Amino acid sequence: MRSRTETLKDKWPWTIAWRDFAKLMNIEGLIKAYETDVNGPRGLGRFETLNMLTNRDVLEENKSRLTTLQAARLLFADEKLAANSEQVIAECGGEAAFMNLRQHNPAPSAWWWFLEQIQLEQFSQPEAIAA
């Protein structure tokens, strides 16, 4: 006998699967959590920082599913994380503690795991050059 979920799922005309719908709803929650963490990194400990970076991994894996607005919010949050990288590292317990979070060997393209390598100058506003 089929489960109630399978029966209902078969009757729905939408092409989106139940799991995909759940992922989309979860993505919004992950973006909100990520935005909150990067906007106020004060008080983030090692566990919270690990959670934030892992959430960012999930967002990257699902980047093709993001709406235009979600993609823009992710970009702004990424910029905020990069700008606050020194504070995030400090709240985590320092550079050595932050680097220890990378035990799973993330890909170099996952720049959020390598905040200690970010040059802050690339995120600061250019100053007017005197003539």
Distance between alpha carbon 49 and the CA centroid of its chain, in Å? 11
pLDDT in tens, 8-32: 445 444 444 444 544 556 899 999 9
Domain boundaries, the chain: 16-123
Rg of the chain on CA atoms, in Å = 19
User: Which residues have CB under 8 Å from 77's CB, separation 6+?
Assistant: 31, 34, 35, 38, 39
pTM of the model: 0.72
pLDDT in tens, 96-125: 999 999 888 889 899 999 999 987 555 554
State the angle between helix axes of 46-61 and 85-92 in degrees (0 to 180), rounded to the nearest 10.
130
